[in-house]
Structure 1
């Protein structure tokens, strides 16, 4: 897996234009039986994924992905990325950064049938909730001393 295949670049471009008004275009990228997993959700099927994104994108002010590294072949790809986004319920609606990576697996038809995102939920949510932020910092501090 040395050269980054075009489909990974196209996948990122797709996500960077995705919004609540064009979610029907998910059918061009995802298989009907796609399995989508992230630290909060495990979703089975493109229709369920579209409903999840509909809810998420309706509340986002904006989101943008910058790929840091990409590697893959025609079947499987891995992306490390940074998402910049603004959400009214996180950080007072100010721009936020979230670092993560994605594992993608495509079928013979070229559509993604497995998509797993890995990211630090602390960076996304917990650090913005005062009590949880404090507790998370204390746990990390104790772990660093162990």
Structure 2
């Protein structure tokens, strides 16, 4: 029996909300061997490389949860918008921050072969750095007035 598109997306969210540095062996349950993963900073090809990326990313991560906002599901293509709440000692002195974004997922059967995250890198990183935070906030305010 084929899993419905809605169930696949629910399983994807459940996976990410339970993901930790110790659970990276479960990436094979979600991703194909030849997966392509893209975000504003990286483009990664292959599950072994994705596992290495997550191993580094989750090593010091204190907390990370995704709250779905809206979604569109199909058999081979899904989109989901989300609010990610995270805490990392290297970002904003470890305080909890929220980042709004969305994900495009392309499915091959029950696993993902293409994953692309869209989010504002300023919201995630830059605005939490002392000098860059001030500068990006200043530029945003000036642009809003233009």
Q: TM-score range by the shorter chain?
A: over 0.9
Tell me, in whole angstroms, the C-alpha distance in 2 between the residues paired with 1:95 and 1:134: 19
- Secondary structure at the aligned position of 2:110 is classed as coil
- Secondary structure at the aligned position of 2:123 is classed as helix
Number of equivalences: 143
**CA contact 2:5–2:75 (8 Å) conserved in 1:** no
TM-score (norm 1): 0.93
Moved more, 91-100 or 133-142: 133-142
Gaps of 5+ in 2: none
1:117 aligned onto 2:117:
yes
Structure 2 residue aligned with 1:17: 18
Q: Give 1:141 deviation, angstroms.
A: 2.3
Q: Give 1:4 deviation, angstroms.
A: 6.1
**CA contact 1:78–1:101 (8 Å) conserved in 2:** yes
- Secondary structure at the aligned position of 1:116 is classed as strand
Structure 1 runs of 4+ with >2 Å offset: none
Moved more, 125-134 or 114-123: 125-134
Structure 2 residue aligned with 1:76: 77
TM-score (norm 2): 0.93
Structure 1 residue aligned with 2:62: 61
Tell me, in whole angstroms, the C-alpha distance in 1 between the residues paired with 2:100 and 2:5: 20
Q: RMSD value over aligned CA atoms?
A: 1.3
**CA contact 1:77–1:103 (8 Å) conserved in 2:** yes
Tell me, in whole angstroms, the C-alpha distance in 2 between the residues paired with 1:93 and 1:135: 21
Tell me, in whole angstroms, the C-alpha distance in 1 between the residues paired with 2:59 and 2:73: 32
Tell me, in whole angstroms, the C-alpha distance in 2 between the residues paired with 1:135 and 1:84: 23
Q: Give 1:137 deviation, angstroms.
A: 1.8
